[in-house]
Chain A
């Protein structure tokens, strides 16, 4: 018995030593993820994804910093990250142009930088991982081109003006749809700040003022869901078309039940995984620079089932 015990002790000590040496030998890369705003649900989703993904790489750790949708805070985080000798910084800009000089400085100081969602273009030495905001809206708009009937009345829900994604998505709808369909009339267009409750208020007023609304064109799923919430039991709008962007769990369920027409998935997990793998490649010297996009697949009733699986895995829906 005594013998067994001492063997066990010896083994345990040996194992401990072994573990200690492995840790000491492995390179440990420090990554800073500077998030736009943890209160923004997509940004939070991305941050959660990055935290999960990095666990797969024992030689990397990530610290998440929350810029609270404030340029000044975000810029300060970039400077601090450089000063604190992080090996790599992933910047999710609040406003690309505001962060540009700070990212440029970080690159100059020899820190590796990835810009993501949305990328800051044309900074030599920095890499980027993104989903193209124009394309995300455009895939929906091209579908709408075929679906929205002649002489239709539509309402448009916009994101905050000045926001890069909001502007690019609206721009895509303009070029891919409205410019080609002069027969379609916009009977209401408002800024609902990505916000479901605000979108509901606008929609409630619009259905008062207009007997006929054929389609909801929304720059994100949240606002589209809000508009649909208003008319969900109204037979008058049973056949309304509704387009969003993002691919939230809620939108997937609405598409599955036939209430919403389509959305483009901006998969935060894909984005997170790509960011982390690019980060690993940059740090281990496999590559020195890359600009890459993840896919933004169009989600309709036909293919929605496979995407719902993603959300079920994450626990957002059951």
Chain B
């Protein structure tokens, strides 16, 4: 009996924390492959490298949990970033520039939210439209040219407080914020319910529309911030930056155990997912892996990590349900 209990416990740990186990395994393997890997400098580097997409991934996590999605974050990031840089160059005020970046992110996502809520456009389509529109405005505004000489603005991307780089600090703050919103607020609770079963949430008195718009507004803050960091880090206001970042963000969230069917996902999982991708890119560069081969390996590892995570979860379900119940489950799923 006692033995069974510990096995049961191990099962739970394995399933609940499987993605962290993948992360730990990865750290061990990377450390064997490169002595530099665990150096403070390298870890700090990786953290800075993943900060922008991880902040976007936190936003995607919130949205996917609520059964939504944002394909526009790469473009909105560029728009928020160039407008913020522009305002800084015109006024020299860091705080004003910072505010503008966030406001642009929030406004674009407010439109996303309204399209989804009021006009019932699927999130995929609404944000696909925003992706094109925001990129277009960014290019229009800058005539397609980079904005150079952004001076003190680079602090947002290159500065540090103590030994912590500013982008990493932002990433940590956004991560904690996401964790808090998801686990400790009624908004977070409602969000899980809306994503897990929208009809049941509505029938429980949750204002589903407000939750969806709220999720987009939060995402907007994150995207705006990511835009500011990216421009500052690269020391240029580039209207064509951030292309494809939406998929990097989605990848991190999905690897981190966020379920595309909604209602599942955690801030910690997403952070782990982002680090898995970050470690992977880093170790392959440290080891000098050929550029084409990198893409192949990356895809394979992502499939493996998610595959293991799913397997561990299914395994648990089977254990708790008992084999006899599975056919019913399957039947219900089909119905």
Q: Do A197 and B146 contact each other (CB < 8 Å), given the known contacts A190-B285, A208-B36?
A: no
Residues of chain A with a CB closer than 8 A to B288's CB = 187-188, 209
Interface residues on B, range: 35 or more
Residues of chain A with a CB closer than 8 A to B292's CB = 161
Residue A250, interface by CB 8 Å: yes
Residues of chain B with a CB closer than 8 A to A316's CB = 145-146, 148
Residue B39, interface by CB 8 Å: yes
Pair count A-B, CB < 8 A = 93
Residue A196, interface by CB 8 Å: yes
Residues of chain A with a CB closer than 8 A to B148's CB = 249-250, 253, 316-317
- List residues 211-263 of chain A with CB under 8 A from any CB of chain B: 225-226, 229, 248-250, 253
Contact of A229 among B34, B235, B243 (CB under 8 A): B235
Residue A39, interface by CB 8 Å: yes
Contact of B143 among A44, A197, A225 (CB under 8 A): A44
* A48/B233 in contact, CB under 8 A: no
Residues of chain B with a CB closer than 8 A to A226's CB = 234
Residue B238, interface by CB 8 Å: yes
Residue B139, interface by CB 8 Å: yes
Residues of chain A with a CB closer than 8 A to B234's CB = 196-197, 200, 226, 229
Digitize A279-318: 1 where CB-to-B-CB distance is under 8 Å, 0 elsewhere. Answer: 0000000000000000000000000000000000000111
Contact of A39 among B36, B240, B281, B286 (CB under 8 A): B240
* B144/A39 in contact, CB under 8 A: yes
* A208/B144 in contact, CB under 8 A: no
Q: Which residue of the partner chain B has the closest CB to A206? A: B285
Interface residues on A, range: 35 or more
Contact of B281 among A196, A201, A208, A225 (CB under 8 A): A201
User: How distant is the Cα of A45 from the Cα of B240 in the complex, in angstroms?
Assistant: 13
User: How distant is the Cα of A19 from the Cα of B286 in the complex, in angstroms?
Assistant: 69
User: How distant is the Cα of A200 from the Cα of B48 in the complex, in angstroms?
Assistant: 11
Q: Do A318 and B145 contact each other (CB < 8 Å), given the known contacts A191-B291, A196-B236, A208-B42?
A: no
Residue B118, interface by CB 8 Å: no
Residue A104, interface by CB 8 Å: no
Residue A135, interface by CB 8 Å: no
Residue A95, interface by CB 8 Å: no
Residue A205, interface by CB 8 Å: yes
- List residues 277-335 of chain B with CB under 8 A from any CB of chain A: 281-282, 285-286, 288, 291-292
Can you give 18 A-B contacts (C-beta < 8 A)? A40-B240, A41-B145, A41-B238, A45-B144, A48-B143, A161-B292, A189-B291, A190-B285, A197-B233, A201-B49, A201-B285, A205-B282, A209-B286, A225-B236, A229-B233, A253-B148, A316-B146, A318-B149
Binding site for A on B (CB under 8 A): 34, 36, 39, 41-42, 45, 48-49, 52, 135, 139, 143-146, 148-149, 158, 230, 233-236, 238-241, 243, 281-282, 285-286, 288, 291-292
Binding site for B on A (CB under 8 A): 38-41, 43-45, 47-48, 158, 161, 187-191, 195-197, 200-202, 204-206, 208-209, 225-226, 229, 248-250, 253, 316-318
Beyond the given A197-B234, A205-B286, A316-B146, please list 17 additional residue pairs across the A-B interface where CB-CB is below 8 A: A38-B144, A41-B238, A44-B144, A44-B145, A47-B144, A188-B285, A197-B230, A200-B233, A201-B281, A201-B285, A204-B48, A206-B285, A208-B39, A208-B286, A226-B234, A250-B236, A253-B149
